[in-house]
Chain A
Amino acid sequence: QVQLVESGGGVVQPGGSLRLSCAASGFTFTRHAMYWVRQAPGKGLEWVAFIGHDDGTNKYYADSVKGRFTISRDNSKNTLYLQMNSLRAEDTAVYYCARAAFYAFDIWGQGTMVTVSS
């Protein structure tokens, strides 16, 4: 079945780095653009980043993460990544990867928790 599985979350100190992964299965990964979306504890959803379906030439970021986060993909491994640098307390959230379809987020992973704390 169509599935997205995130990994790589954890506890990191302010200013630190973390790389999240999202393993895709059950669909043709190269045909779909992908997103990262996050949700701070008790808060709403926030779009984080987008990457096009092909070699990832098209990448877009929310202002809140621009210059600190980098989205990438390895189509040979059916895997999406989010490299997060210069982490701040306000980056604490559950991070979801999601598949793009019709400018919407049509399939979601279960999420991975990132906690930025000293």
Chain B
Amino acid sequence: QSALTQSASVSGSPGQSITISCTGTSSDVGGYNYVSWYQQHPGKAPKLMIYEVSNRPSGFSNRFSGSKSGNTASLTISGLQAEDEADYYCSSYTGNTWVFGGGTRVTVL
């Protein structure tokens, strides 16, 4: 149950697009289409942003999109806004267990 690998931090200016990557193995990210992404603001509970690699919960902003290629999943935030500054975590089903990434701090410059 090793954590998925995420870059520690990503930054961008308002209006720009950024991409956060999440690398696992064929036993987790590469083996299942059950990758999800979470946004967490300081002191708050995480919030689901993307499930099943690329699906958004109803009512959620379409500025957030997900994809996957091989053992690496990605979250893209387009039209970056100040309120997007937060920590982002990926997660994958691994066959009766789940694993999270270490988290990526997104900074809006």
Interface residues of chain A, those whose CB is within 8 Å of chain B, are 35, 37, 44-47, 50, 60, 62-64, 96, 101-111
Q: Quick one: given A44-B100, A60-B97, are A101 and B51 in contact (CB under 8 Å)?
A: yes
Residue numbers in B under 8 Å from A104 (CB-CB): 34, 36, 48, 51-52, 91
Q: Say what secondary structure dominates the interface of chain A.
A: strand
Q: How far is the CB of A51 from chain B (nearest CB, A)?
A: 12
Assess whether B1 is in contact with A105, with CB atoms less than 8 Å apart.
Answer: no
B92 nearest CB neighbor, chain A only? A103
Q: Quick one: given A104-B91, A105-B91, are A47 and B100 in contact (CB under 8 Å)?
A: yes
Complex: how many Å from CA A47 to CA B103? Answer: 14
Within B51-109, the residues touching A (CB, 8 Å) are 51-52, 55, 57, 89, 91, 93, 96-103
Give me 7 A-to-B residue pairs in the complex whose CB atoms sit less than 8 angstroms apart, sorted by A's number.
A35-B98, A44-B100, A45-B103, A46-B100, A60-B97, A105-B36, A105-B48
The number of chain B residues with a CB under 8 A from chain A is: 26
Q: How far is the CB of B68 from chain A (nearest CB, A)?
A: 14
Assess whether A108 is in contact with B46, with CB atoms less than 8 Å apart.
Answer: yes
Q: Quick one: given A44-B89, A103-B36, are A50 and B51 in contact (CB under 8 Å)?
A: no
Complex: how many Å from CA A60 to CA B95? Answer: 10
B97 nearest CB neighbor, chain A only? A60
Within B1-52, the residues touching A (CB, 8 Å) are 1, 3, 32, 34, 36, 38, 40, 45-48, 51-52
Assess whether B100 is in contact with A60, with CB atoms less than 8 Å apart.
Answer: no
Q: Quick one: given A45-B89, A104-B51, A105-B38, are A63 and B1 in contact (CB under 8 Å)?
A: yes
Residue numbers in A under 8 Å from B48 (CB-CB): 104-108
Residue numbers in B under 8 Å from A102 (CB-CB): 34, 36, 51-52, 55
